[in-house]
Structure 1
Amino acid sequence: MSTMAQQPVVRSLLENDLYKFTMWQALLHSHPGAQAEYAFVCRNTPLFPLAELKPAVDAELDRLCSLTFADDELAYLRGLRFIKSDFVDFLSLFRFQRRFIETRVNGETLEIVARGPLVHVMAFEIFVLYIVNELYFRRLPEDENLLTVARARLREKIDFLKGLGDELCAPDEPFVFFDFGLRRRYSGAWHEEVVRTLAAELPVNFRGTSNVLFAKEMGLTPIGTMAHEYLQAYQSFGFRLRDFQKAALEGWVQEYRGDLGVALTDVVGMDAFLGDFDLYFAKLFDGLRHDSGDPVEWAEKALAHYRKLHIDPRSKRLVFSDGLDLPRAVELFRRYRGRVMTSYGIGTNLSNDTPFAALNVVMKIVACNGQPVAKLSDSPGKTLCDDQTFLAYLRQVFGRKDGGS
């Protein structure tokens, strides 16, 4: 057995995406009694049935539920301007509860469901995803050339950016990208090597990571604001369904008072989002994040919306984060340079670009407070909601004629 296979997958409770902490704090303060359910799904076909991983996944979850935050980790979080002291006090007492998460085998399918208080189960997601990923890749045949290939591909990426020289390093408008690769990484050790290498070789362009542990250990900027689950949860909080986006954005504004000002746009599609993103929100938020649909179409709609509200788009930022690689990110940078500030979150293409195909795994909120929640994104196939009645109602309320899912 390899050294990697002997090591536990989860090294620290701080090794989570930043937006988990920011959403966690906001929901703890606003809806501490909410109940939720999250479900794991693999969207592509693995090389062997994931059901075979159940014993190893169970062992990792058992261990995860024994961990607590270390004092230096809590001190780091307390030092982030937007993290409040009472939330850190909560984390100092927090421990995952094993009774809130279960694994099941359904034929060759591995099912993982987290069900319980929202502020207890929401943080399972990222850990479950990278536990499954790393255990999966540990089971594949060991190939001494795998990391050689992965390092060569990383070198090609770095050389690609360096080869563009001054074009990407202008002091007033450099090309800026971040690591968003925690959830689907090949391994923790490889992910760390990638981030350290990028930070050392591309200091002008590489500006941070969503991995809070890496940010702490490497002195990088932790990156993240909100994800779909935050807005989806508001579908169950007693507001008119038509008003849930406005309620969620208002909740965010009240929690962060100007910090973390990038809003996610695709829970019910860009058009429906812009219908709620009025002058008030457009002035309060620094920018928008793209996570589904055609990025150019999305960006042009965003710029037109800002102009309609008599806001100079050059004062705002668009963050692209949907399945990007560096060439596509540079292409978008060139298209929008001088028109709007941009930055790019790149995940699997950085942390899992090996000869083996990456798993397309997700673990999404599917119910809250006893009712279904869902998103109608601008890309097909991105929903885990099985309640067709609720989906039809959601489409009707927001005027979705395309059957977006």
Structure 2
Amino acid sequence: MNNFSIISSLLDNDFYKFTMQNAVLKLFPLVKAKYEFINRGKYSFPKNFANILKENLNKMSYLKLSNKERIFLEKYCPYLDSSYLDFLNQYQYNPKEVNIYQKGKNIKMNIEGLWSRTILWEVPLMAIISELYYKLTGIKRLSDKNIIILTKEKLKKYKKLKVKIGEFGTRRRYSYQVHKLILKILIEEGYPFFIGSSNVHLSHIFSIKPIGTKGHEWIMFHAAKYGFNIADRIAMENWLNIYKGNLGIALSDTYTSSIFFKNFNKKLSNTFKGIRHDSGDPISFIKKTIKHYKKFKINPIKKKIVFSDNLNPDKVAFISSFCKNKINPFFGIGTNFTNDVGPPSMNIVIKMIKTIPKKNWISVVKLSNVEKKSTGKKNMIFFAKKILHL
């Protein structure tokens, strides 16, 4: 591998991609999926960007799970069974699944194939696009010394607040090198408040347990297969069937939190250890969550909320003070750790847009608690809102 390989390990990805891949293989092995790159920030990409991006993807086809990496997964992620790890041993990225073309300064990209295979592309692709963009546009960052100072300052604030924090910043990191540097500081100086990283490869390097559960695409597929009204519930039940209560954080905003809470029945509320908040006003969400648990006579102080929506030390201070003695907050901090190094971080996403749950392609949508975070075709979003009476 020459120095220009941005992704150097099959595990340089978010943990929830592997946990979802395992569940997809067990329950929906023949389902196909299609993803699309969305340039939310309307960036102009330099000449030849698409070709250099393709070169990086082609190098990814040589990545294989090493014996050491498999042993790491067996030790730290016991709920990933040997049949899945055997699959991962055989897995190789297939760049033919990714279609990229550049028109002027605009990049178009989609990914298509078996869901169980294509599910791993999103996070490393975004990390490559981000790193290449800074490299090819020559946008300078802070020095390592200043990054270390800044990260330690943030860490000091989090330690003072006594809050549990994790690092979720793979997809929009400035670069692999910056990501590794920041994680090293968090591990060396974050004890006992730093609880881990979502990046499996870096977790392996530093011998820590990777963190994460599932993403929106898991529920979006269930909506395509079973309908919008019950997607949350069936997605959670299927998750329980695979993981038996492990990885028990429910995702609350694929079809807005109000629909989620209708699906989050007494059994699920008891079984899942907590809920992830990823969009909308955190305070009203905390209130709703507490009210929901109390309705089922569940003590909220025994439950968690994992906050992961664009966090920084001020937001964390505000949210954690409101949670005090009410419910347990955890914070997944992404870009504010891995790409707060001078230039603005990129506002880009790659989202599932279609799937084949039965015979034909169906467009999928996500209706976030915040309008601008919704994804999917306009007519499908309209249709979903109508069905859900939103």
What TM bracket, shorter-length normalisation?
Answer: over 0.9
Cα RMSD, aligned residues only: 1.7
Cα offsets for 1:5-42 (capped at 9, x unmatched): 94310010111101001111011100000011001112
Q: CA separation in 2, counterparts of 1:299 and 1:144? A: 36
Equivalent position SS for 2:366:
coil
- With normalisation by structure 2, the TM-score equals 0.94
Change (3 A) 1:107 1:207: same
* Distance apart, 1:384 and its partner CA: 3.3
* Structure 2 counterpart of 1:28, from 18, 25, 30: 25
* Distance apart, 1:70 and its partner CA: 1.0
Residue 366 (1) aligns with residue 357 (2): no
* Distance apart, 1:81 and its partner CA: 1.7
* Distance apart, 1:281 and its partner CA: 0.7
* Structure 1 counterpart of 2:40, from 33, 39, 43: 43
Change (3 A) 1:40 1:51: farther
Whether the 8 Å CA contact 2:354–2:364 is kept in 1: the answer is yes
Change (3 A) 1:142 1:38: closer
Q: For 2:177, give the aligned amino acid.
A: A
Equivalent position SS for 1:391:
helix
Question: Match of 2:9?
Answer: 12
Whether the 8 Å CA contact 1:230–1:248 is kept in 2: the answer is yes
Question: Match of 1:232?
Answer: 220
Q: CA separation in 2, counterparts of 1:137 and 1:308? A: 50
Q: CA separation in 1, counterparts of 2:174 and 2:80? A: 30
Greater displacement, 144-153 / 349-358? 144-153
Cα offsets for 1:322-358 (capped at 9, x unmatched): 0001221122112112111110000000001111111
* Distance apart, 1:191 and its partner CA: 0.6
Question: Match of 1:62?
Answer: 58
Change (3 A) 1:366 1:81: same
Q: CA separation in 1, counterparts of 2:96 and 2:143? A: 38
* Distance apart, 1:52 and its partner CA: 4.2
Question: Match of 2:151?
Answer: 154
Question: Match of 1:325?
Answer: 312
Residue 314 (1) aligns with residue 301 (2): yes
Change (3 A) 1:232 1:142: closer
Q: CA separation in 1, counterparts of 2:288 and 2:103? A: 43
Question: Match of 2:271?
Answer: 284
Cα offsets for 1:234-286 (capped at 9, x unmatched): 1222x244222211111001000010000000000000100111101101111
* Distance apart, 1:160 and its partner CA: 2.9
Q: CA separation in 2, counterparts of 1:210 and 1:50? A: 30
Equivalent position SS for 2:13:
coil
Q: How many residues align?
A: 384
Question: Match of 1:216?
Answer: 204
Q: For 1:97, give the aligned amino acid.
A: N
Q: CA separation in 2, counterparts of 1:261 and 1:144? A: 38
* Structure 2 counterpart of 1:384, from 375, 382, 387: 375
- With normalisation by structure 1, the TM-score equals 0.91
Q: CA separation in 1, counterparts of 2:94 and 2:141? A: 38
Residue 186 (1) aligns with residue 174 (2): yes
- Please give the residue correspondences for 1:189-204 in structure 2 after superposition, counting only pairs within 5 Å: 189-204=177-192
Q: CA separation in 1, counterparts of 2:155 and 2:8? A: 28
Q: For 2:346, give the aligned amino acid.
A: L
Residue 394 (1) aligns with residue 384 (2): yes
Equivalent position SS for 1:139:
helix
Q: For 2:387, give the aligned amino acid.
A: V
Question: Match of 1:128?
Answer: 125
Q: CA separation in 2, counterparts of 1:236 and 1:107? A: 35
Cα offsets for 1:115-160 (capped at 9, x unmatched): 1110111110011000101111112336485444433322321333
Q: For 2:233, give the aligned amino acid.
A: K
Q: CA separation in 2, counterparts of 1:191 and 1:258? A: 31
Whether the 8 Å CA contact 1:50–1:110 is kept in 2: the answer is no
Change (3 A) 1:50 1:241: farther
Q: CA separation in 1, counterparts of 2:52 and 2:286? A: 43
* Structure 2 counterpart of 1:81, from 78, 83, 104: 78
Whether the 8 Å CA contact 1:54–1:104 is kept in 2: the answer is yes
Equivalent position SS for 1:222:
coil
Q: CA separation in 2, counterparts of 1:38 and 1:234? A: 16
Whether the 8 Å CA contact 1:146–1:355 is kept in 2: the answer is no
Q: Which runs of 5+ in 2 are unaligned?
A: none
Q: CA separation in 1, counterparts of 2:42 and 2:153? A: 28
Greater displacement, 50-59 / 346-355? 50-59
Q: For 2:86, give the aligned amino acid.
A: D
Cα offsets for 1:196-247 (capped at 9, x unmatched): 111111211111000011111212221100100111011222x244222211
Equivalent position SS for 1:242:
coil
